[in-house]
Amino acid sequence: YVAHALLQGAEALPAEELTAVLAHEAAHVRRRDPLRFLLLRTLARALFWVPAVRAVSEDIADEAEVIADDAASAVAGPIAVASALVKLGAWPQREAPVAGPLAVVGFLRRDLLDRRVRRLLGEAYRPQGRLTTRAVVVALLMLSVSTLSGIVDVHDLPAAAGHPASHQHCEHDGVFAAAHLFCRWQVKGPLLPPGASDCPHRHA
């Protein structure tokens, strides 16, 4: 689909710039970028409590735009790509006639537009990623906590009523639950004996 305004009217693009736009989008299609963006952003939202995932997701999306610019430059030339970007970046964000998630498509963030145009014009431009040291530290902390809680959670629970064959494991009477991770270090014998009857902090 091509916006009607790109083809006719005061905002229509010249043929070489329109070619650049189409070549750019064709590069996204070849690389299956829409699917990749969907998966990355879904993961980032699912792991919203790990900000670093979203930062990496957005950095990958930005890099995909740069790669598509290179593909379009090979077809229409870098000047045509840069000119089209500047013109599209100047488009006002109009209110859509219908409300809904597809009513308005936002694109060309100011910082990314600046990076892409400068690069296309041959200017040295060093982008700054969103991934910070603080985000990495928070990510490692959150992943450690989630891993720890997962390991604790998969330990055997006390035997359920009416199921005497189920494992009878610790109830942590007055002991922090994380003790499950270390309770077998000083115990001789198999790692998971039936019922864990020799667990050192098993409820009496």
Please give the pLDDT value at position 18: 92
Question: Is there a domain that residue 192 lies in?
Answer: yes
The answer as to whether 85 is a domain residue is yes
Do 81 and 167 share a domain, yes or no?
A: no
Percent of the chain clearing pLDDT 70 (strictly above): 63
Which pLDDT tens digit goes with each residue over 157-183?
554 455 454 444 455 555 565 665 665
Question: Which pLDDT band, with edges at 50, 70 and 90, does 192 fall under?
Answer: low
Interval 141-167 mean pLDDT = 62
Indicate if 121 and 163 belong to the same structural domain: no
Q: Do 96 and 171 belong together in one domain?
A: no
* Same domain assignment for residues 184 and 140: yes
Candidates 63, 35, 70; CA nearest to 131 is 63
pTM here? 0.63
146 and 121, same structural domain? Answer: no
Q: Based on the structure, what is the number of domains in the chain?
A: 2
In this predicted structure, the answer to whether residue 151 has a pLDDT above a threshold of 60 is yes
Query: Do the domain assignments include residue 201?
Result: no
Could you tell me if 70 and 99 lie in one domain?
yes
Task: Report pLDDT for 190.
Answer: 59
pLDDT single digits (tens) 72-127: 999 999 999 999 998 888 776 555 444 444 333 345 677 788 889 988 988 877 76
Domain boundary among 105, 131, 157: 131
Cα dist. 25→35, 64, 72, 78 in Å? 14, 11, 8, 15
Q: Is residue 30 part of a domain?
A: yes
Q: 143 is in which domain, residue-wise? A: 134-196
Q: 78 with 11, same domain?
A: yes
- Report pLDDT digits (tens) over 34-87: 999 999 999 989 888 788 888 888 889 999 999 999 999 999 999 999 999 988
Q: Are residues 147 and 122 in the same domain?
A: no
Whether residues 126 and 149 share a domain: the answer is: no
The reply to whether 71 falls in a domain is: yes
Residues 89 and 8 in one domain: yes
- Domain boundary residue, one of 116, 131, 146: 131
Compare 155 and 113 and report the one with higher pLDDT: 113
Q: Tell me the CA distances in angstroms from 15 to 18, 45, 143, one per residue in order.
A: 5, 39, 51
204 domain residue, yes or no = no
146 and 62 co-located in one domain: no
Mean pLDDT computed over 21-30: 94
Looking at the domain assignment, is residue 40 inside a domain?
Answer: yes
On whether both 102 and 174 belong to a single domain, the answer is: no
